[in-house]
């Protein structure tokens, strides 16, 4: 596993990608993508599929019991992720592809929603992802954090902007994590048209839709000045991420997490 991470780092250096705004990190066997540089006052982990115990097609760091993976394997994967987050428990939501934002103050299930925000520390906010866009939010002056799950429904419903507004903070930084990108995301003409109308023609190219660009537009509308798009495509990188589009419904889910630092 470590060798794989090392060779990835080497490849990126050799391909001149050293200017990329992300880096691969590892904790135990678990491998994650982190923003580079890391945000002040918070930690962000976009966990890859590497370093867990699940068998194919859920290999190996699947965190969802909604797919037919072995529940014991999922429990072990979640424990490894908790260790990678220095023992932090997680606050999570039952994701319904809506625009609900839950404000939480402790770990545990926070009901049905697709985003979480908190001013608390000592636990992480997490969402499960397989192509949809994870957006980590790091507060400025007030210093809270947020995590958003944004598929096309959430994006057109402006969930990222709503999460920023719920944080009620200025100087929020946003980090757009690994997701299905325009290169791999063909949608219906009707849907492409709706996005072009709402977010501008530049978010579509023919029927290929860029969710990250639409989300960036939404974030800028609510006053976020720093939007860091990590640029990683789940469709192009099956070695690192699960992709519902590319691998079908029988695949795993990646975990995206953010935590405020004391
Ligand atoms: Zn792609």
pLDDT tens, 92-119? 999 999 999 999 999 999 999 999 999 9
Sign of CA dihedral 49, 203, 216, 112: negative
The confidence band for 16, taking pLDDT boundaries of 50, 70 and 90, is very low
Burial (CB < 10 A; 0-12, 13-18, 19+), residue 201, is exposed
**182-193: per-residue pLDDT in tens?**
999 999 999 999
Alpha carbon of 127 to ligand 1 centroid (Å):
21
The alpha carbon of 24 and the centre of ligand 1 are apart by a number of angstroms equal to 19
Task: Give the whole-angstrom CA distance, residue 38 versus residue 60.
Answer: 26
Cα of 187 vs centre of ligand 1, distance in Å, is: 14
Residues 133-143 have a mean pLDDT of 93
Name the band, by pLDDT with cuts 50, 70 and 90, for residue 19.
Answer: low
pTM over 0.85: yes
- Cα 145 to averaged position of ligand 1 atoms, centre (Å): 28
User: Which 8-state DSSP code applies to residue 179?
Assistant: B
Tell me the CA–centroid distance for residue 246 and ligand 1, in Å: 10
Span from the CA of 58 to the centroid of ligand 1 (angstroms)? 20
pLDDT digits (tens, 9 = 90+) for 27-46: 999 999 999 999 999 999 99
Backbone angles phi, psi at 40, to 5 degrees: -70, 135
How many A from CA of 31 to the centre of ligand 1?
Answer: 20
Strands 115-118 and 101-103, bridge-based pairing: parallel
CB neighbours of 158 closer than 8 A, spacing ≥ 6?
Answer: 99, 218
Is the pLDDT at 15 greater than 80? The verdict is no
Structure tokens at 35: 């923003």
pLDDT, position 44: 98
What is the distance of C-alpha 166 from the center of its chain?
A: 19
List the one residue out of 110, 155, 112, 104 whose CA is nearest residue 132: 155
What is the Å distance from ligand 1's center to 80 Cα? 28
Interval between CA 233 and ligand 1 midpoint (Å): 5
Q: What is the fold, at CATH topology level, of the domain defined by 2-179+232-260?
A: 3.60.140
* Domain boundaries of the chain, sorted by first residue: 2-179+232-260
Q: How far is the CA of 140 from the centre of ligand 1 (A)?
A: 32
**Cα 135 from Cα 215, distance rounded (Å):** 9
Q: How far apart are CA 11 and CA 86, in angstroms?
A: 29
Distance 212 CA to ligand 1 centre (A): 12
Cα first-last separation, the chain: 31
Sheet of 226-229, strands arranged across: 101-103, 115-118, 145-150, 133-138, 173-176, 226-229
List the structure tokens of 166.
């719920």
| Distance (Å) from CA 167 to ligand 1 centroid | 31
Residue 179 alpha carbon to ligand 1 centre in Å: 9
Question: Widest CA span of the chain, in angstroms?
Answer: 47
């Amino acid at each position: 596993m470590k060798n794989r991470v090392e060779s990835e780092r080497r490849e990126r250096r050799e391909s001149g990608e050293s200017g990329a705004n992300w880096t691969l990190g590892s904790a135990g066997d678990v491998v994650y993508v982190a923003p580079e540089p890391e945000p002040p006052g918070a930690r962000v982990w976009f966990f890859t599929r590497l370093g867990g115990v699940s068998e194919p097609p859920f290999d190996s760091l699947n965190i969802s019991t909604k797919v037919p993976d072995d529940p014991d394997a999922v429990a072990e994967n979640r424990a490894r992720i908790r260790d990678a987050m220095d023992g932090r428990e997680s606050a999570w939501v039952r994701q319904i592809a809506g625009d609900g934002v839950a404000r939480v103050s402790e770990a545990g299930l926070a009901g049905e929603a697709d985003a979480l925000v908190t001013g608390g520390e000592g636990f992480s906010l997490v969402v499960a992802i397989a192509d949809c866009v994870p957006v980590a939010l790091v507060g400025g002056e007030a210093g809270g954090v947020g995590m958003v799950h944004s598929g096309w429904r959430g994006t057109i419903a402006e969930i990222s902007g709503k999460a920023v507004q719920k944080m009620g903070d200025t100087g929020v930084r946003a980090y757009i994590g690994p997701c299905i990108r325009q290169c791999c995301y063909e949608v219906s003409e009707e849907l492409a048209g709706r996005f072009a109308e709402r977010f501008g023609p530049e978010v579509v190219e023919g029927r290929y839709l860029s969710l990250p660009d639409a989300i960036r537009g939404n974030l800028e509308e609510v006053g976020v000045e720093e939007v860091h798009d990590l640029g990683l495509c789940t469709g192009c990188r099956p070695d690192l991420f699960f992709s519902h589009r590319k691998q079908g419904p029988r695949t795993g889910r990646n975990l995206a997490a953010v935590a405020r630092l004391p």
